[in-house]
Amino acid sequence: MKVLATYSIKGGVGKTSAAVNLAASAALAGWNVLVWDLDPQGAATYLFRTKAKVKGGSRALVSQRRSLLDAAVATNVANLDLVPADFRYRHLDLQLHDTKGSTRVLAELIQPLAGSYDWVVLDCAPSISLVTEGVLEAVDILLVPVIPSALSVRTVDQLLAFVDGAHPDGPQLRRFEVVVFFSMVDGRRRLHREVLAELPERHPGLVALASVPMASIVERMGVERAPIGSFASGTKAALAYAQLWEELQGRWPDP
Amino acid sequence: MGRAHTQPADPPEGASTKPGPVAFTFIATASAAKLAARVGGRAGRPFEVERTWLDTFDWRLWNQGLALEVDRGPALNSATLRSTGDHRVHWVQRDGEVPVCAEDLPPGPWRRSLAGVLGIRALVPVGSEQVQKTEIVCADGEGKTVATLMWERVGSRPDQGQGRERPAPRPVARVRLIPARGYDRTARELAALLVEHAGLVPETAHPLEQAATHGLRPGQDPGKLRLVLAPGMRADDALRHMLSTLFAVMGANEPWLASAPDTEFLHDYRVALRRSRSVLKQARGILPQEALDEWRPALRDLQVRTNAHRDLDVFLLEFDGYRAAVPQVGEGDLEPLRNLLLRHRRVEHAALMSYLDSEEHRSLLARYRAFLSSRAGQDRPVSDGSTPDETRPVDAVAAGRIRRAHRRLLRSGAAIGDASPAEALHELRISGKELRYLLELYGSLYDRAVLGGVVRELKALQDNLGEFQDCEIHAQRLHEYASELRATADVPTSSLMAVALVAQVFIDRQAQARAAFAGRFTAFASRHNVRLLDRMLTKGGGPG
């Protein structure tokens, strides 16, 4: 089993779209996939047409009174289950803070899923918090969407500094891989083209080859409430997510 | 998108509200469109598929509550692993190859779900049917699928029912209710609605029970002996019944020997053959001497034809174990040996298949079948004077035969010392096998718990003797193979040395088995164990 988190400190950069579409690609390829929507806003849960509610809320999960397997529900995509978001996840930081071994709790919740799922995809809320630290303890792959702009590049630098231990609050030992991909790319903009060329040079091996274009079809997911592949499979955006998934599967062929 | 008449459950709370069994398979007379309208679902387009169920020949998936359905058709190619109880989907693979053996299983759900289940057995077709199917999606107000109804009109397949009588397929549709994870309450409510308001009739049998092919029955291992003898039964009838049952096991396995999806078809065939020989060996005075004089050598000859093939199967099955036993050997040094074994097995396989396909073998089977069927009423052959025991009750005959075999085993075992040759242990193993087969064949006459205790000690002894003998053969054959490899120009010295090292491992293991023999035999020959057997034979009493 591999655990992948779509993560960014910034909001609105395409984390949820990536989580939903990559999970759907993995499920279509025949893997058993679980998405855990960790964002109290519940966008992934909404896209999967599911009610944003977990019995007992985050407290039941953190206290391990309820397992993720109990909380998982099927989605309309074959092989793909979801642990829905719950508005009470907004208290997750506080609940973790009050729990012994707080940063290991998420990893301990996820570990028993290995007998049932091949890929677990965490859709994280945009922040750097105790939940983030818990996610970093649990993941094998941290997938970071980046809009090609100067500020976003700076964000990547900050993130790398944090996860590589340069920051005193960051993880002591990084046990996961970071993969950055460009999101919401507008090929007509010169700045986007420049950043697309610059970041891979600055961080060799960090940036995925596939990049997701700025496309209205991605926004249309909110109307269709489904992964792009199920309603617009031949579009550039759908192909970009499929290509990104192929890259990930190529690097981790045996989860 | 239609809304299900049943109100969707609160998904994450998914706890069941109604205890008790719920049907997930139904018989319907209504069309898919009418059923969809009735439950407020949305019917998709109908499509035709050829469905094949895969399992191991001994039903390892079924026994774990799993069924692997492979649907092939113009609109769909899929493999779906489901629960047999409620058809719940564990995973679906669209397109792609379906693996056969555990070592072929790709990473992911195939390997995770099946590697531990298949063991050394392969996936083979165990059922098939032609289906026109329509999916009816039941969704909640958000358009979220909460259950799926699979409306299936089933046609017959030409090979269906082969080997036993089956009812003709019914000209109505089968409906399967597929619950979605987290929506158990909805599934229960929908199941009730289907019966109470949509006129569906619950069906207790799983679809595979109708669709099984090759005379198979879900959950029943065709290689396993299921023999029930009634106390007081005539001895000749009992022995013919045993031989017929064993012949049926051979017949179930023989069609698979050519394609040989796994090695156990030949193994089970050989075990049934060996047991048949054992029955014939014990049949003096019960079955006509003329028949024994014909069938004992004939079955021995058939067994001999399979010996080399089976030895090579065992070699190859254990090959990875050899490599592990000699970690000092370089990667690839044993590959010439593996290639040689594979080459030999191809030759042996071709020779065996050629014989099984011959007129000689077909004629043998026909005559043997005729011999086995001439058993009851007016077909019973007139006694030629060689069968004074034919009318004796089987329990009396069984006790005598078992006591005799047991005494012989005790006597021969007690005579074995440190200086006894390997052949003496080999002979003892054969005597042990005969006793084991007698206990298994006549087992239904005795208390099952006591029988289990007797067989347990015997099995421990047999395992020890089997290890000794297998090591003897392996070491000997490895020396022969090494000579053969030495004569091949391009085999490096490192490979020859590797084979010699493996042979030494077997010699060491054989010595260990020899050292352990005395302890095992003492346990088997203990007063307690002898009394146990005696009490079992005296009391009889059928399965406990």
Q: Predicted confidence band at A73 (pLDDT cuts at 50, 70, 90)?
A: very high
Domains of chain A: 2-251 (3.40.50.300)
B360 located within any domain: yes
Q: Specify whether B201 is located in the same domain as B273.
A: no
B5 located within any domain: no
Chain B residues close to A28, C-beta within 8 Å: 94
Q: Predicted confidence band at B383 (pLDDT cuts at 50, 70, 90)?
A: low
B320 located within any domain: yes
CB of B182 less than 8 A from some CB of A: yes
Record the tokens describing residue A208, joined without a space. Answer: 């995925």
Task: Supply the pLDDT for residue B435.
Answer: 94
Task: In whole angstroms, give the CA distance from residue B459 to residue A92.
Answer: 58
Q: Do B109 and A78 touch (CB under 8 A)?
A: no
Q: Which of B91, B144, B183 sits opposite A32 (nearest CB)?
A: B91
Helix/strand/coil for A252: coil
Tell me how far the alpha carbon of residue B435 is from its chain's centroid.
23
CB B428 within 8 Å of CB B413? yes
B480 located within any domain: yes
Q: Predicted confidence band at B157 (pLDDT cuts at 50, 70, 90)?
A: low
pTM exceeding the 0.90 threshold for the entire prediction: no
Closest-approach residue (CA) in chain A for B107:
A254
Given a cut of 90, is residue B388 above it in pLDDT?
Answer: no
B168 located within any domain: yes
Record the tokens describing residue A113, joined without a space. Answer: 């899923």
Residue with tokens 């669209």: B94
Q: Do A73 and B93 touch (CB under 8 A)?
A: no
Cβ-Cβ contacts under 8 Å for B308 (sequence gap 6 or more): B344, B348
Q: Specify whether B15 is located in the same domain as B164.
A: yes
Q: Specify whether B263 is located in the same domain as B383.
A: yes
B461-499 per-position pLDDT tens digit: 999 999 999 999 989 999 999 999 998 878 889 999 999
Record the tokens describing residue B213, joined without a space. Answer: 């092919």
CA Rg, chain B, in Å? 28
B200 located within any domain: yes
Which of B359, B374, B389 terminates a domain? The answer is B389
Residue with tokens 């094949």: B52
B3 located within any domain: no
Q: Specify whether B159 is located in the same domain as B244.
A: no
Q: Do A49 and B182 touch (CB under 8 A)?
A: no
Query: Does the interface predicted TM-score (ipTM) exceed 0.85?
Result: yes
B376 located within any domain: yes
For residue A72, which of A143, A23, A21 has the smallest C-alpha distance? A23
For residue B377, what is the enclosing H or E element? Answer: none
Please give the mean pLDDT across all residues of chain B: 87
Domain count, chain B: 3
Given a cut of 80, is residue B151 above it in pLDDT?
Answer: yes
Record the tokens describing residue B363, joined without a space. Answer: 């004629």
Backbone angles phi, psi at B26, to 5 degrees: -140, 160
CATH of the domain at B174: 2.40.320.10
Which of B342, B370, B389 terminates a domain? The answer is B389
CA Rg, chain A, in Å? 17
Q: Specify whether B276 is located in the same domain as B316.
A: yes
Residue with tokens 């490979």: B495
Q: Specify whether B400 is located in the same domain as B340.
A: no
CATH of the domain at B457: 1.40.20.10
Helix/strand/coil for B82: strand
What DSSP string describes B480-532?
Answer: HHHHHHHTSTT--HHHHHHHHHHHHHHHHHHHHHHHHHHHHHHHHT-HHHHHH
Q: Do B109 and A79 touch (CB under 8 A)?
A: yes
Helix/strand/coil for A179: strand
Percent of chain A with pLDDT over 70: 96
Q: Specify whether B251 is located in the same domain as B314.
A: yes
Q: Specify whether B162 is located in the same domain as B251.
A: no
For residue A6, which of A30, A22, A28, A26 has the smallest C-alpha distance? A22
Q: Specify whether B366 is located in the same domain as B410.
A: no
Q: Specify whether B364 is located in the same domain as B418.
A: no
Helix/strand/coil for B148: strand
B331-352 per-position pLDDT tens digit: 789 999 999 999 999 999 999 9
Q: Do A32 and B13 touch (CB under 8 A)?
A: no
A96-153 per-position pLDDT tens digit: 888 887 888 899 999 999 999 999 999 999 988 888 889 999 999 999 999 998 888 8
Residue B478: Cβ-neighbour burial (10 angstroms; 0-12, 13-18, 19+): buried
Q: Which of A49, A78, A118 sits opposite B143 (nearest CB)?
A: A49
Given a cut of 50, is residue B48 above it in pLDDT?
Answer: yes
Chain B residues close to A45, C-beta within 8 Å: none
Task: Supply the pLDDT for residue B268.
Answer: 96
CB of B42 less than 8 A from some CB of A: no
Q: Do B107 and A28 touch (CB under 8 A)?
A: no
Q: Do B89 and A78 touch (CB under 8 A)?
A: yes
CB of B116 less than 8 A from some CB of A: no
Backbone angles phi, psi at B120, to 5 degrees: -90, 5
Task: Supply the pLDDT for residue A210.
Answer: 93
Which of B389, B417, B449 terminates a domain? The answer is B389
Task: Supply the pLDDT for residue B544.
Answer: 38
B89-107 per-position pLDDT tens digit: 999 998 888 888 888 888 8
Give the mean model confidence (pLDDT) for residues B497-503. Answer: 92
**How distant is the Cα of A185 from the closest Cα of chain B, in angstroms?**
31
Q: Do A73 and B11 touch (CB under 8 A)?
A: yes
Record the tokens describing residue A49, joined without a space. Answer: 């047409």
Q: Specify whether B374 is located in the same domain as B398.
A: no
Q: Predicted confidence band at B3 (pLDDT cuts at 50, 70, 90)?
A: very low
Task: In whole angstroms, give the CA distance from residue B532 to residue B450.
Answer: 7
CB of B92 less than 8 A from some CB of A: yes
Task: In whole angstroms, give the CA distance from residue A102 to residue B293.
Answer: 80
CB of A251 less than 8 A from some CB of B: no
Q: Specify whether B158 is located in the same domain as B49.
A: yes
Q: Predicted confidence band at A11 (pLDDT cuts at 50, 70, 90)?
A: confident
What domain range is B181 assigned to? 11-211
CB of A54 less than 8 A from some CB of B: yes
Given a cut of 60, is residue B425 above it in pLDDT?
Answer: yes
